[in-house]
Chain A
Amino acid sequence: MASHGIKDRVAIVGMGCTRFAEHWDKSLDDLIVDAAEETFASAGVTKDDVDAFWFGTAQSGMSGITMARPLQIDRKPVTRVENYCTTGSEALRAAAYAVASGAYDVAMALGAEKVKDSGYQGLNAFPIPNDGTARTLTAAAMFSMVAPAYGKKYGVGEDELTEVLARISWKNHQNGARNPRAQFRKEVSTETICASPRVAGRLGVFDCAGVADGAAAAIVVRAEDAHKYTDTPVYIKALSFAAGSGSGLIDPEYDYTWFPECAAAAQDAYAQAGITDPRHQLAMAEVHDCFTPTELVLMEDLGFAPRGTAWKEVLAGTFDRTGALPINPDGGLKSFGHPVGASGLRMFFEAWLQLRHEATPERQIDTDKTLALTHNLGGYPGEMVSFVSVVGTELG
């Protein structure tokens, strides 16, 4: 029994991503077609060249037909996957494993979400018939319990912690402002962030991810075939996934200052990729900043900073686009937006651009490192699924 991974056996050879926005004028079908066509063009293929498809959507549609119909994919394997907010990452994980297994030569992963047709703010879960005893809190409220717990455990005062969280939001808005595909393309001052209306606990509007419609996709092939499609493939070094048992909610030992599922997924990913010093080996990371305290805690869960120290690194600018380890250079969920099923693939898209030095000059990170990490989580503190990948431009 072991998690062997598929290091260097599969390559991403084409990607696409729509702008993430409140696309009042675009349907789910439009978003799927736009992302798919950009991806086909990126890899220099047509849909007929793709042998199998994995379609990630959390709640915009059921079954593979939701993708097959708008693209008119006929009599091919198209599978819908769903795993909370990690849905897009899971689509890519499935496609990559299918290619690594030898079952298919070319596979596509596409994630899409149309959230802005609900008429409500935020995300709203599918109602499944139940006994009426499950809590009905928003995600913001569940994650809001992290900040005070972290502050208390590590002796960070309330005002200082507010400054740290505002710095994370400020940084992600700085990055998003420079990104033409981001939902929010505006820098926001820390004063504005701190003065925003409270949503849950001490979290304000600017501590929460943007809610957007969007789609993103990737085409994967066996590593040895990659150069048939592109001179600059991005190889998969690690794909790791950890679903918690949900016991954090009922385990008195859990203290809301970390996400054990994320730490476990990171550990596995680093083992697969052969990474021993993530902070210095990675060129950048895309992490699941659904709320500002989430990004703070993830810096420690992912091994970018020792426990209890990430807040200092945030204030020091370590994770800025020009810092030692740029985090969410595309703006993250906060500023790029969060169409649930698409977000995991959007993270890969940013790694694809940055590692190939294809981001626009004003936002291209200055690095000679060749590895990037994406981290995607779903659920809540105590009851979470977590995905971590490592990708790189060089074999070995």
Chain B
Amino acid sequence: MTRGVVSIAGYVPFRRLQRSAVAAVFGSGGGKGARAVASHDEDTTTMGVEAARLALRSAPGSAPSALWFATATPAYLDKTNATTLHAALRQPADVAAFDFGGALRSGPGALRTALESGGPGATLVVVSDRRDGLPTSADESAGGDGAAAVLVADDGPGTPVIAQYLGGASVSDEFLDRWRTAGDRRSRTWEERFGETRYVPLGAEAWQAGLKAAGVAADEVDRVVVTGMHGRAAKAVGRALGVRDGVLADDLALTVGQTGAAHAGLVLAAMLEQSGPGEVVAVVSLADGADVLVLRTTPAIAAWSPADPVAAQVAAGADLPYGKFLTWRGMVTPEPPRRPEPQRVSSSAAWRNEEWKFGFVGSQDRSSGAVHLPPSRVSMAGGAVDDMVPIDRADAEATIATYTIDRLAYSPSPPIVFAVLDFDGGGRFPVELTDVDPDTVDIGDRVAMTFRKLYTADGIHDYFWKAKPVRVASGDAAD
């Protein structure tokens, strides 16, 4: 049975911090290139939703039977975050939703587990992370925010495998290189040299074991990335892989940063998006041991079209001032708007309205066609009662009918840019815009919906949808 990747997508948030901006403020810190920065309204759950939406969009007809979510920076503890993704992706109730929590290794671990364990049904593995560090720290600059989603299944009708899993390996070891206790804002690390002496042999051992399991030689590998929060060790392991020149692929360090638990998935997405049929693609992940995945693309990859390739998302980013970055990370607290903070969301109201709140599903009057956002039992056109069908608007694009900028309303990052949207295929909804500079908005602009966190009150995250501009990337790698 051929098992492997049916679809895959990365999600890179819109904002970038140029690392040089750090030293410009503090006189030290930073470095070369840029890191991706989650917006103030994004967390690992919302980024995971965006990656999963892209992966599922490129795999029409697939129906996962399980949704696994792995992150080292979960939005909730105790409460499962995968159920939020499950709701936002409108998955049926019989789809299992599990978190793989806490450790950086949970990301590559979830991926390998899905690839190794056969059986009926597809598993959607979503990995996501949001990496913090104190101002001027190496983690602040080297870290990145992002997510990836990988749909894994046995090859079959509806689930054509685009990259067959050839084999892999995991080597585990207990040592303290990097750690963080619950509630800590930042990770702590042991002396860098020590970690390197552990990771280099662990990486080499896992690599050899992985190649053996896959039945390929090192010089047969066409694309590989070694990833891990220990940058020096990852580079050293990469140099010793024994692959051909030019096979070591872009690890996105200069453009996105190290996205922790998400990074193995993200670089795998970026590599597969650029691969043709018959290529051997591998990932080595260094976290409390080493994990290796080896895949070979199939002829089916030629017919697979990524919805929004990682390269295009990287190219579409826009810079964020360092002050905003520090604010969004909670490292500095600027004067808040002088408005009452929002109250917490009602749990029961949110549950009742799950389809609307998490799925952005409205209702459409069957007789008049009128679209109600949110759904309504009584139609605004003709007054028909209880004669509505659900209408999914999350994936519909829209045009800005009019807009305004609210400088007074409460927002975690004022001002609020707000627009009245007319959706393709019907429906109007006034909603907040995000990933946008207020000065660039105009009537007639095209937007798409994105799952975001509006605010947090009493520890409850208020998840809902916003709209963001549809951007045509300059460096389109898809076509």
Chain A residues with a Cβ under 8 A of chain B? 118, 120-122, 124, 127, 129-133, 135-138, 140-142, 144-145, 148-149, 152, 198-201, 245, 247, 249-252, 254, 256, 382
User: Is the Cβ of B357 less than 8 Å from the Cβ of A132?
Assistant: yes
Closest residue on chain A to residue B429 by CB atoms? A250
* Additional pairs, 9, CB under 8 Å, beyond known A131-B353, A133-B374, A137-B406: A121-B408, A122-B339, A129-B349, A130-B346, A135-B432, A141-B406, A148-B443, A201-B405, A249-B429
Quote the shortest CB–CB distance from A251 to chain B (angstroms): 6
Which of B356, B371, B420 is in CB contact (< 8 Å) with A133?
B356
Interface residue tally for chain B (C-beta within 8 Å)? 44
Question: B276 near A: Cβ within 8 Å?
Answer: no
User: Is the Cβ of A251 less than 8 Å from the Cβ of B462?
Assistant: no
- 30 chain-A/chain-B pairs, Cβ below 8 angstroms: A122-B339, A127-B343, A129-B349, A130-B345, A131-B349, A131-B356, A132-B462, A133-B353, A133-B357, A135-B432, A136-B342, A137-B406, A137-B418, A138-B408, A138-B409, A141-B409, A144-B406, A145-B402, A145-B404, A145-B420, A148-B402, A152-B443, A199-B407, A199-B408, A201-B404, A249-B428, A249-B430, A250-B371, A250-B428, A251-B380
Quote the shortest CB–CB distance from B319 to chain A (angstroms): 25
- Which residues on B sit within 8 Å (CB–CB) of A129? 343, 346, 349
- Give 8 nearest A-B pairs by CB, closest first: A141-B406, A132-B345, A247-B380, A132-B462, A129-B346, A201-B404, A131-B349, A127-B343
> How far is A141 from B418 in the complex, measured between Cα atoms in Å?
8
User: Is the Cβ of A200 less than 8 Å from the Cβ of B430?
Assistant: no
Question: B304 near A: Cβ within 8 Å?
Answer: no
> How far is A249 from B428 in the complex, measured between Cα atoms in Å?
7
Quote the shortest CB–CB distance from A280 to chain B (angstroms): 34
User: Is the Cβ of A120 less than 8 Å from the Cβ of B340?
Assistant: yes
User: Is the Cβ of B349 less than 8 Å from the Cβ of A130?
Assistant: yes
> How far is A133 from B380 in the complex, measured between Cα atoms in Å?
20
- Which residues on A sit within 8 Å (CB–CB) of B407? 198-200
> How far is A129 from B430 in the complex, measured between Cα atoms in Å?
21
Closest residue on chain A to residue B351 by CB atoms? A131
- Which residues on B sit within 8 Å (CB–CB) of A148? 402, 443
Question: B350 near A: Cβ within 8 Å?
Answer: yes
Question: B16 near A: Cβ within 8 Å?
Answer: no
| CB contact under 8 A between A140 and B345, given known A135-B431, A135-B432, A250-B427 | no
| CB contact under 8 A between A120 and B350, given known A141-B406, A200-B405 | no
Which of B339, B403, B410 is in CB contact (< 8 Å) with A145?
B403
| CB contact under 8 A between A121 and B405, given known A132-B462, A141-B418, A251-B428 | no
Interface secondary structure of A, over-half rule: loop
- Which residues on A sit within 8 Å (CB–CB) of B408? 121-122, 138, 140-141, 199-200
Question: B79 near A: Cβ within 8 Å?
Answer: no
> How far is A6 from B454 in the complex, measured between Cα atoms in Å?
48
User: Is the Cβ of A137 less than 8 Å from the Cβ of B416?
Assistant: yes
**Which residue, of B371, B372, B380, has the highest number of chain A Cβ atoms within 10 A?**
B380
Question: B464 near A: Cβ within 8 Å?
Answer: yes
> How far is A395 from B422 in the complex, measured between Cα atoms in Å?
50
Closest residue on chain B to residue A142 by CB atoms? B404
| CB contact under 8 A between A132 and B464, given known A250-B373, A250-B429 | yes
> How far is A308 from B343 in the complex, measured between Cα atoms in Å?
41
> How far is A129 from B353 in the complex, measured between Cα atoms in Å?
13
Question: B401 near A: Cβ within 8 Å?
Answer: yes
- Which residues on B sit within 8 Å (CB–CB) of A144? 404, 406
- Which residues on A sit within 8 Å (CB–CB) of B339? 120-122, 124, 138
- Which residues on A sit within 8 Å (CB–CB) of B403? 145
**Which residue, of B349, B406, B410, has the highest number of chain A Cβ atoms within 10 A?**
B406
Closest residue on chain A to residue B350 by CB atoms? A131
Question: B338 near A: Cβ within 8 Å?
Answer: yes
Question: B352 near A: Cβ within 8 Å?
Answer: yes
- Which residues on B sit within 8 Å (CB–CB) of A247? 380
User: Is the Cβ of A250 less than 8 Å from the Cβ of B416?
Assistant: no
- Which residues on A sit within 8 Å (CB–CB) of B370? 251
Quote the shortest CB–CB distance from B440 to chain A (angstroms): 15
Quote the shortest CB–CB distance from B380 to chain A (angstroms): 4
> How far is A339 from B46 in the complex, measured between Cα atoms in Å?
41
**Which residue, of A121, A142, A200, has the highest number of chain B Cβ atoms within 10 A?**
A200
> How far is A226 from B339 in the complex, measured between Cα atoms in Å?
47
- Which residues on A sit within 8 Å (CB–CB) of B418? 135, 137, 141
Closest residue on chain A to residue B422 by CB atoms? A252
Quote the shortest CB–CB distance from B453 to chain A (angstroms): 10
User: Is the Cβ of B420 less than 8 Å from the Cβ of A131?
Assistant: no
> How far is A130 from B344 in the complex, measured between Cα atoms in Å?
9
Closest residue on chain A to residue B432 by CB atoms? A135
- Which residues on B sit within 8 Å (CB–CB) of A382? 430
> How far is A142 from B350 in the complex, measured between Cα atoms in Å?
25
User: Is the Cβ of A131 less than 8 Å from the Cβ of B357?
Assistant: yes
